[in-house]
Amino acid sequence: MSRTPSEIKATRMAPLARLPAFFALEGKRSVVAGGSAAAIWKAELLSAAGARVEVFAPAADEELRALSAAPPRGEVLIQGRRWTASDLSGAAIAVADCADDQEAAAFAAAARAAGVPVNVIDRPAFCDFAFGAIVNRSPLVIGISTDGAAPVFGQAIRAKIEALIPRGFSRWADAARAWRPRVQALALPFRGRRGFWEKFAARASAAPEHEPTDADLEALLAPVPAQYAGRDAGQEIGSVVLVGAGPGDPELLTLLAVRALQSADVILFDALVAPDILDFARREARKMLVGKTGHKVSCRQDDINALMISLAKAGRRVVRLKGGDPMIFGRADEELAACRAAGIPAEVVPGITTAQGAASRLLVSLTRRGQARRVQYITGHATIDGREAKLPADIDWSSVADPAVTTVVYMPIKTLPELVATAVQAGLDPATPAIAVERATRADERVIAGAIGGLPERLAAEPPSGPVVLMIGRVFGDYVAAAGQEPQPDLAAQALYR
């Protein structure tokens, strides 16, 4: 059975405790009521954002006077008295440190009556907005909020982000602001503009402490106009990137895979790709299920190829997202051949294949010294003339029976009884340890361990609903024994390879 590719609508935004927004305060009047340390700190933040700050405090201490004498950016004016409702008229923002709820309610009411957003320090019930923890690489600014639930936790997160974000990014963000008019003047199509800024981000990330100069701009611009020379605005260059999504855990994505997802215009993804992986994509990217679910309703490969090529020819950057590694039983050769035939640029971003992910969670080395001479990957089914065969006809069954080999079987479920029977007939010991892993590395991963001879019956009794990988070999003996499923296998042969 076949189905047509279907577009998956973007998921709704999850609930937000606060809306992260950034006020543009350059040259705008702001009001701070109170002369406490907390109020002075808020006045300093507002001044740093370019606001002209009026601080209403009956008594100005040394710290407040020092801020007024040397503000970080916008001027700080001290009004040596208490605030009044008329002081709030025309302000862009109002902040107060109040002694009690009665004063807080009065200040908030006066600010709202004047149409001014208000924050009362440490009294969230009277606040229209909150100040979060800040990572300052201005004009790159990161705000962090826990909605008042755990300010110390927010500060801890800020410290981690501070360690991750180089201070030199501030200079690169300044350069981006200065260079943007020159890039806009080139009148590049969307793909060209996005390509420039992707290269800009890569250059900044590679040399964050480098002082960007006009030479950097020229180097980034040099290939861009040439790439689009002689093309109309609608004639953009598309491309295809085959991306490995890994076995399921989103944290196993490579950095290159994340960058590809974030730059994609369209994502064609398989049904076996974990849904959380798509969260790394741009929200506005089209996401189309071209699911090949193995023995179930699937899109025909020819249809997938045709869609991929048509989108790329229309100037889209297409990510073909595949579970595991695209070069391991992922039909990458067919899709790459289609791109070559159509003259479409193509790349491959490898992923962690399912066998590696499963082994890492089991804490079992697939090439454990003394037990495995080599590892082989085989598939439990083959497609012949568009039909699913029971078993591939060209499996070397003697290699599967070899006790010094770890065999990993992809897509094993439909043919498992025949596969095991054929391997045993070829010499595989039915007591050989084996492990079937369903939904490897995901939160709902399921492991069935035992002797290979009994696994078909056990899986038939507990049919899997997700993707399964089967692993066979002596390296799993300790795991199987610890699971209490089988007696310890004969490990005497371990010495042969030491």
Sheet order of strands, 266-269 included: 6-8, 286-289, 266-269, 317-322, 239-244, 346-349
Instruction: List pLDDT tens digits, range 244-258.
Output: 999 999 999 998 899
Mean pLDDT of the chain: 88
User: Residue 488 — pLDDT band, cuts 50, 70, 90?
Assistant: very low
pLDDT of res. 232 = 52
86-96 pLDDT, tens digit each: 999 999 999 99
Is residue 495's pLDDT more than 50?
A: no
Q: Range(s) for CATH 3.40.50.720 in the chain?
A: 29-131
Question: How far apart are alpha carbons 47 and 67 in whole angstroms?
Answer: 9
Question: How many angstroms separate the CA atoms of 133 and 163, rounded?
Answer: 14
pLDDT at residue number 430 = 95
pLDDT at 144 over 60: yes
CATH architecture entry for 239-352: 3-Layer(aba) Sandwich (3.40)
Residues 244/294, Cβ–Cβ less than 8 Å:
no
pLDDT of residue 388: 59
Ramachandran angles phi, psi of 471, nearest 5°: -125, 130
Rounded to two decimals, what is the model's pTM?
0.69
What torsion do the CA atoms of 337, 343, 344, 348 make, to the nearest 10 degrees? Answer: 40
| Residue 216 banded pLDDT, cuts 50, 70, 90 | very high
Please tell me the least confidently modeled range out of 28-42, 205-219, 307-321, 474-488: 474-488
Say yes or no to pLDDT of 4 above 80.
no
Fold type of domain 29-131: Rossmann fold (3.40.50)
Residues with Cβ within 8 Å of residue 232, at least 6 apart in sequence = none
Q: Where in the chain is the domain with CATH 3.30.950.10?
A: 355-497
Rounded average pLDDT over 215-234: 70
3-state SS track over the chain: CECCCEEECCCCCCCCCCCCCCCCCCCCEEEEECCCHHHHHHHHHHHHCCCEEEEECCCCCHHHHHHHHCCCCCCEEEECCCCCHHHHCCCCEEEECCCCHHHHHHHHHHHHHCCCCEEECCCHHHCCCCCCEEEEECCEEEEECCCCCCHHHHHHHHHHHHHHCCCCHHHHHHHHHHHHHHHHHCCCCHHHHHHHHHHHHHHHHHCCCCCCCHHHHHHHHCHHHHHCCCCCCCCCCCEEEEEECECCCHHHCCHHHHHHHHHCCEEEECCCCCHHHHHHCCCCCEEEECCCCCCCCECCHHHHHHHHHHHHHCCCEEEEEECECCCCCCCHHHHHHHHHHHCCCEEEECCCCHHHHHHHHHCCCCCCCCCCCEEEEEECCCEECCEECCCCCCCCHHHHHCCCEEEEEECCCCCHHHHHHHHHHCCCCCCCEEEEEECCCCCCCEEEEEEHHHHHHHHHHCCCCCCEEEEECHHHHHHHHHCCCCCCCCCHHHHHHC
Q: Which are the catalytic amino acids?
A: 270, 292
Pinpoint the residues of the chain covered by CATH 3.40.1010.10. Answer: 239-352
Q: How confident is residue 198, by pLDDT bands cut at 50, 70 and 90?
A: confident
Q: Give mean pLDDT, residues 469-491.
A: 79
Here the tokens at position 431 are 């007591």
| pLDDT at residue 491, as a whole number | 42
> Domain 355-497: which topology?
3.30.950
